[in-house]
Amino acid sequence: MTRRRWIADEVNGNTAALVGGHAAHLARALRAEVGQEFDIATGAAVRRGRIVSISKDRVEFALGEVQALKPAPEVTLALAIFKFDRMEWAIEKCTEIGVARIIPIIARRTGAHLTAAALKRSERWQRIARQAAEQSRRSAPPEIATPVKLTQLGDAGAECRIVLAESEGYVRLRDVLRPQLPGVALAIGPEGGWTAEELQWFRDSGWIAASLGDTILRAETAAIVATALALDSLR
């Protein structure tokens, strides 16, 4: 049986702990018991952990052997900010799939109210990513960057950079991706897509314009499909 994985809040030598609401979920909702074993991500590794004590806001583990991990491809998602309920669904699912980093982008078509509110959502987005990472047995959640304007995005830390847009003149995403790539950055536009000026900025900055096909997808769907295709191609 596959053991559930938890990302430790505290690590000290051969012990680790979950605290606060994180611990309460394991202790109350999942009815944890002393002696149960889980995989515990410590930041440096994933180790076998056995519960040694439980309280309402703290669960402590004795750490054992290190678990083998497969290296994961590096996919960065530059995600234009759009309606939060759908954007947060994209963050959750792309985390489960295996995205390494998410950079929220303030695009031309990002509403002023969303821009103002996005600067206060970082903690919530990080919590969503952490929960999704544990659920999918990742060793760490993706980095959730502070929202930036498009002109501050730069190269997004990747040699291969692809902006998704719908046009008959663009190559298909699957034709751009190659297994030997060390990593890739994907840029997904907001509702209504990138403006012509934004697409020109991407081209001038060395990004490749690509399409997911003949249909027009919602932003959250495009993010999930593109991330899945990229990760599958890089593995």
Report, as an integer, the average pLDDT of 18-29.
88
CATH fold group of domain 74-234: Alpha/beta knot (3.40.1280)
**Mean pLDDT on 120-127:** 93
d(CA 4, CA 9): 16
Q: Is 89 helix (H, G, I), strand (E, B) or coil?
A: helix
Give the tokens for residue 68.
Answer: 């083998």
The answer to whether residue 142 scores a pLDDT higher than 80 is yes
Block residue for tokens 């991500």:
41
Fold of 5-66: Ribosomal Protein L25; Chain P (2.40.240)
> What pLDDT digit, counting tens, does each position of 159-182 carry?
899 999 877 668 899 888 887 778
| Local structure of 116: helix, strand or coil | helix
Phi, psi of 93, deg, nearest 5: -70, -40
Residues 6+ apart with CB under 8 A from 21: none
Please state the rounded mean pLDDT for residues 64-80. Answer: 89
pLDDT exceeds 60 at position 1? no
Per residue in 196-209, pLDDT tens? 999 999 999 999 99
Q: For residue 148, what pLDDT is reported?
A: 95
Across the chain, mean pLDDT equals 91
Spans of all domains in the chain: 5-66, 74-234
Give 7's strand partners: 41
**Phi/psi of residue 187, each to 5°?**
-110, 125
| Average of per-residue pLDDT across 50-79 | 91
| pLDDT at site 126 | 95
> What confidence tens digit (pLDDT) does each residue in 24-45 have?
888 887 888 999 999 999 987 8
What is the pLDDT, as a whole number, of residue 117? Answer: 95
